[in-house]
Amino acid sequence: MSESKRRTAGRPAGSGKSTSGHSQSLVRGLNLLERLSLSPGGLVLSEVAEQTDLAPSTTHRLLQALQSQGFVTQDNELGVWKIDVKTFRIGNSFLEARDFVGASRPLLRRLTARTGETANLGVRDSGTAVFLAQSESPQMMRMITRLGSRAPLHASGVGKALMAWLPDDELEHILDEHGLEKLTANTLHSPEVLREGLLEVRRQGYACDREEHAIGLHCVAACLHDEYGIPLAAISVSGPVARIPEARLPELGTMVRDTAAEITARFGGRVPPTT
């Protein structure tokens, strides 16, 4: 029987041990990249081998293959292996392709289904929060925010969720430039009180708007973070005080916080540790 007939009668050409070996090498190579990505200062050969549980000879062969393709590089003076520019380009293309608004929409709808209230997503634009996406409550009396509308950062759940994770100098710049306009009797218009409130937001992982933007309205919000832990956007659930009394805020806050963490993870972000 000819070679081609044997292949037709038996397993497909290229299957079996050879393919399995190639797959194993690919998995090992990707594991090496992952380990190196967690060590910005680089790793020497013995460290890479130990962390990946591979023989030094196998590790060196895989590193050389990755180096030939531009994924890793070796510092000849120190002898350490590091991620190279090609890996960065691939990772950066993922970051550029992220659509956190699109990733958030189904989870905003899920929040509405679970809570019965309107869910929003907003981003920071200087001293205001701008709302970009919404899932409306089915209730007759509900909170509706026009997309593209704005709210002061200090007087909105979304705004405070974003402010809480800003660097101190950036927060102070916002306070100096925009001030703390008092919209209702509950608006936090004292910088000291606001700072204390933002520390609480970081500790519990969500912000509350207790009729600070509009009388009769309660809101809870949590931040979405990018890969550096920097605030990227925030999501919220809001509704009338009659349906969201003070006693319900912790329950909704936990739900919104966990949803924000889920969205953050979907596009490769990182939730900073609470303080």
- Do 80 and 19 have their domain in common? yes
H-assigned helices in 38-137: 45-52, 56-68, 85-97, 100-115
Asked if residue 78 is part of any domain, the answer here is yes
Cα 52 to Cα 59: distance, rounded to the nearest angstrom: 8
How far, in Å, are 106, 212, 232, 235, 271 from residue 112 at the CA level?
10, 22, 22, 12, 23
- Do 30 and 111 have their domain in common? no
Instruction: Please report, in tens digits, the pLDDT of each residue of the chain (275 residues total).
Output: 444 433 334 333 444 444 455 688 889 998 898 888 777 678 999 999 999 999 999 999 999 999 998 889 998 778 899 888 777 677 655 545 567 788 899 999 999 999 999 999 999 987 889 898 999 998 887 777 778 788 999 999 999 999 999 988 999 989 998 889 999 999 998 999 999 999 999 999 999 999 999 999 999 999 999 888 889 999 999 999 999 999 999 999 999 999 999 999 988 888 888 76
- Do 79 and 160 have their domain in common? no
- Residue 133 forms beta bridges with which residues? 121
Which residue, 103, 197, 117, is CA-closest to 159? 197
- Residue 217 forms beta bridges with which residues? 240
- Do 249 and 131 have their domain in common? yes
Asked if residue 274 is part of any domain, the answer here is no
Asked if residue 142 is part of any domain, the answer here is yes
Asked if residue 272 is part of any domain, the answer here is no
Strands of 80-83's sheet in order across = 43-44, 80-83, 72-75
- Do 77 and 113 have their domain in common? no
H-assigned helices in 79-167: 85-97, 100-115, 157-163
Neighbours of 174 (CB within 10 A): 20
Q: Provide the angle, in degrees to the nearest 10, between the axes of the packed helices 17-37 and 45-52.
A: 120
Asked if residue 210 is part of any domain, the answer here is yes
- Do 8 and 76 have their domain in common? yes
Cβ partners under 8 Å of residue 69, min gap 6: 86
- Do 12 and 144 have their domain in common? no
- Do 161 and 237 have their domain in common? yes
Asked if residue 107 is part of any domain, the answer here is yes
Q: Which residues constitute the domain of residue 106?
A: 98-266
Structure tokens at 58: 């196998």
- Do 126 and 232 have their domain in common? yes
- Do 212 and 117 have their domain in common? yes
- The predicted pLDDT at position 143 comes to 76
Q: Most distant CA pair in the chain: distance in Å? A: 91
| CATH number for 104 | 3.30.450.40
Residue where a domain terminates, one of 66, 94, 122: 94
Q: Provide the angle, in degrees to the nearest 10, between the axes of the packed helices 45-52 and 56-68.
A: 110
- Residue 240 forms beta bridges with which residues? 217
| CATH number for 14 | 1.10.10.10
- Do 142 and 87 have their domain in common? no
Domain count, the chain: 2
- The predicted pLDDT at position 35 comes to 86
Asked if residue 141 is part of any domain, the answer here is yes
| Structure letter (DSSP) for residue 248 | G
Residue where a domain terminates, one of 94, 118, 153: 94
Cα 109 to Cα 259: distance, rounded to the nearest angstrom: 11
Cα 213 to Cα 225: distance, rounded to the nearest angstrom: 24
- The predicted pLDDT at position 269 comes to 87
Look up residue 43 and give its amino acid: L
- Is the whole-model pTM more than 0.75? no
Residue where a domain terminates, one of 27, 59, 94: 94
- Do 154 and 190 have their domain in common? yes
Cα 135 to Cα 89: distance, rounded to the nearest angstrom: 35
Cα 134 to Cα 239: distance, rounded to the nearest angstrom: 13
Asked if residue 275 is part of any domain, the answer here is no
Burial-class residue 220 by CB neighbours within 10 Å (0-12, 13-18, 19+).
buried
